Structure 1
Amino acid sequence: MEQHCLVELVQVTVTPTEWVERLEALPILKEVSIRIDRGQFITLVGRNGSGKSTLAKVVAGFRTAGVTGSMILRAESAAGVHRIPIVMQQPEAAMVGATPWEDVVLMLEQNEMEWSQIIPCAEQALHQVGMGERMHQPIETLSGGQKQLVAIAGCLAAHSPLLVLDEVTAMLDPEAAMLVLERVRALHKSGVTVIWITQKLEELRPGDRIVAMNDGKIAYDGLPEGWFSRSINGHTESVCEQLGFEAPYAARVAWELELLGVRLQPFPFTADMLAEAVSSDER
C-alpha cells in the first residue's frame, strides 16, 4: 500500500536567535531529517534537553526562531493552516470552556470552522475519546486523564491529521495514564497518525516506530526489536542502554534469559509479550 507523507524535514537545524546574538550558537536540533507517513504511531523518546519537544513543534508547523533546512508540511488542520495543535502535560492551562463540550466548541470557533459543522464535530470527537457522557460535566470535576482526553478531542474535532502528544501521561497516576494511552491506541487503530512523546518505555507497543533524540540529533529511528537488541554491530549493549534509558521489566528479564542461553523470539518488551514468548518456548 502506498504511503502518504504528511511531514518531511531535511537537514533541519534550530538555533535560538538570542543565543546567536550572544555568540553562543548551540543548536537545539542539528541537521535532523525525518519523514512522517500517514497512519504511523511514532514514539518519540529522549532525555530532557535532547530536542524532542522542539522537533515536535517543528513537525507540527509552529513558528520556531533560528530554523534552517527544508521543511515540507503537507499536514493541514480543518482551518487549512499548517499548524497542528500539540497536547501538553497540563491541558487545563489552555482550556477556556466550563465543560468539555463548551471547550471544544470554543476551540473550533477560534479555528474559524463553519458554524454548521462545529457542534457535530465537537460531539463526535468527544464520543471518540470516551467523553461523550461527560461532555456537559464541569471541567474542574474531571480527572487529569479526562482533561487530557478533552484536549485530544479538540484536536480530532479540528480534523488534525496528526495527534502530537507531548508527555501527556507524565503527571498522571498509572490508572489515568493507562486510560489515556489505551484511548490513543484505539484512535491509531482507526487510522489516526500519532506522535507520542514520552520517557516511559513501558508505553511502547509492537509495531511502533521509535525515534530517539540525543543531543539534538536522531540517534535511532526504527522498530522496538532493533532498539532493544544487544547483538547489532557487535555491541553488548542495546541502543536503549547506550542512550541511558531504563528498559521495561519484561525486556530486562529477556536480557537475563539471553545470558543463560535462552533467546526469546520475538524479543519481549511488554508483560504480555514476555508471557507469550515464555509459553511458546516451553512448548
Structure 2
Amino acid sequence: MSQHIQLELIDVSYAPISLASEPSADVLADIHLTVNRGEWITILGMNGSGKSTLLKLAGGLIRQGVRGSLHRAGSQGGKPIPIVMQQPDAGLVGSTPWEDVVTLLERQGAPADGLVLRAEQALREVGLEGRMHQPLDTLSGGQKQLVAIAGCLAADAPILLLDEITAMLDPGMTAIVCGHVRRLHQQGTTVLWITQRLEELLPGDRTLVLKDGRIVFDDSAGALFRRTASEPPDSPGEQVGFVAPYTVKVGWELAAQGIELPFIPLTADQLAEAVTGYGR
C-alpha cells in the first residue's frame, strides 16, 4: 500500500454473523474505497444505507463477517480507531474535559511521560483551553463533541471518524464544531464525516453516497446535483432521494438559461461564490 494511502478497501462486503440457518444479507457490498492522508471525505445516504457500518468497518470495530481486502495504515498495532457519535455522553469518562482525556489516555496505556501535555494540547486544538477544568455537565452538546474529538487527537487516532456529530446541535454550535474540524483538516488531519445536512458540505469536498450498502457516487459535493440530461431528475443526489435545496434549484434554472456555474451550490454563500466566479 502506498505511503500516501491511509485506508484501502478492495471489494469489501459485510454481512452480520447469523445463528439462523439462512445467512444474513449483506449490509455493505462491493465497496472499493481509497482514503489518502489528509483527505476530507463526506459520507451521505438515507437511513439504513450503511454509512455508520462503513465507518465502523474503517475503524476496525467490525472484524467478523467481512469479506474482501481491508488495509489500515497507522492503526496502532491493530487497535480500533475511536468514532465520535451523535451522543458523546456515552463515551465520556471523566468529570471535566481535562480528566476525560487524561483518563482515556491512561486506559489506553499511554506512557505517563508527557501524557498530561498531550491531553492539554489536544483540548487547545479544539478550542477548549479555557474549559479544561469545567464540569462536563455544564458544557453544551457541541462542547462535549469537541471533548470527544480531543480524545481522538490525544490518542493519535490516524483518522477522525465522525458520525453525524452535529445532528443534535443548533446551527450556531454546528458552525463552531464544523469550524474546528475544518481547521484540523487544514492542518493535515484525515477526516471521514457522516452527515445528513447538505449545508455542511463544501463544493470541493470528496463526497460518497451510499445506497443499499453500495457506493453509488464518489465525486465532489459540487457535482452532487449536477444534471446531465433534459429530463430530470437525473442528478446523483436526486436519484438517491435527496431533496434539492433552493440554491440548487437556482443553479438548475441558471443552467437552463445557458449559465453553467462552476459547481452547483448547496448554500446561499456558495451560490454567491459561484455567481461571483462565473466566467472567470
Contact 2:223 2:263 in 1 (8 A): no
1:59 counterpart = 2:34: no
Is the partner of 1:115 in helix, strand or coil? Answer: coil
Matching of residue 29 in structure 1 with residue 28 in structure 2: yes
- Aligned-partner SS, 1:127: helix
- Alpha carbons of 1:64 and 1:282: their partners in 2 closer, same or farther (altered >3 Å)? closer
What amino acid is aligned across from residue 141 of structure 1 in structure 2? T
Unaligned runs of 5+ in 2: none
CA distance in 2, matches of 1:64, 1:22: 21
Larger fraction in helix: 1
Residue 239 of structure 2 corresponds to 242
Give distance in 1, aligned partners of 2:21 and 2:140. 44
Letter in 2 for 1:231: T
- The Cα of 1:43 is off from its aligned counterpart by 0.1
Q: Within 2, Cα distance between the matches of 1:267 and 1:167?
A: 23
Q: CA deviation at 1:133?
A: 0.4
Instruction: Indicate the SS of the match to 2:67.
Output: strand
Q: Distance in 1 between matches of 2:79 and 2:108?
A: 12
CA contact (8 A) 2:97 2:134 kept: yes
What residue number does 2:135 align with?
A: 138
In 2, are the aligned partners of 1:73 and 1:82 still within 8 Å (CA)? no
Distance 1:81 1:264, change over 3 A: same
Q: Please list every run of 5 or more consecutive structure 1 residues that lacks an aligned counterpart in the other structure.
A: none
1:227-238 map, 5 Å: 227-231=224-228, 236-238=233-235
Q: 2: CA distance between counterparts of 1:110 and 1:233?
A: 58
Measured after TM superposition, the shift of residue 253 of structure 1 is 1.7
| Counterparts of 1:206 and 1:278, CA distance in 2 | 13
Given the alignment of the two structures, is residue 84 of structure 1 paired with residue 78 of structure 2, yes or no?
no
Moved beyond 3 Å, runs of 4+? 232-236, 279-283
Most deviating of 62-71 and 167-176 = 62-71
Using the TM superposition, give the Cα deviation of residue 16 of structure 1 relative to its aligned residue in structure 2, in angstroms: 1.1
TM-score by length of 2: 0.93
Measured after TM superposition, the shift of residue 5 of structure 1 is 0.7
Deviates further, 270-279 or 141-150? 270-279
Amino acid at match of 1:46: G
Q: Distance in 2 between matches of 1:47 and 1:236?
A: 17
* Contact 1:226/1:232 (<8 A) preserved: no
SS in 2 for 1:257: helix
How far apart, CA to CA, are the structure 1 residues paired with 2:166 and 2:172? 10
**CA deviation profile, 1:20-54 (whole Å, cap 9, x unmatched):** 62415211011211111101000011111101111
How far apart are residue 281 of structure 1 and its match?
4.7
Change (3 A) 1:30 1:255: same
- 2:13 maps to which residue? 13
Partner in structure 1 of residue 173 of structure 2: 176
Cα separation, 2, equivalents of 1:259 and 1:82: 52
Larger mean CA deviation between 45-54 and 222-231 belongs to 222-231
Secondary structure, in 3 states, of the residue corresponding to 1:21? Answer: coil
8 Å CA contact retained: 1:201, 1:246: no
Query: Kindly tell me: are residues 282 and 16 of structure 1, through their superposed partners in 2, closer, same or farther at Cα, counting changes over 3 Å?
Result: closer
Contact 1:7 1:75 in 2 (8 A): no
SS in 2 for 1:27: coil
**Aligned residue number for residue 45 of structure 1:** 44
Q: How many residues align?
A: 279
- Please point out which of 224, 242, 267 is paired with 2:221: 224
CA spacing shift, 1:282–1:229, aligned 2, 3 Å: closer
1:159 to partner: Cα distance:
0.9
Structure 1 residue 236 displacement after superposition: 5.0
Is 1:151 matched up with 2:154?
no
1:186-201, aligned counterparts within 5 Å? 186-201=183-198
Superposed CA RMSD in Å reads 2.1
User: Distance in 1 between the 2:4 and 2:271 partners?
Assistant: 34
- 1:120-150: CA deviations, max 9, x gaps? 1100000000001000000000000000000
Give 1:205's aligned residue: 202
Relative distance call for 1:273 and 1:89 in structure 2 (3 A) is same
- CA spacing shift, 1:65–1:275, aligned 2, 3 Å: same
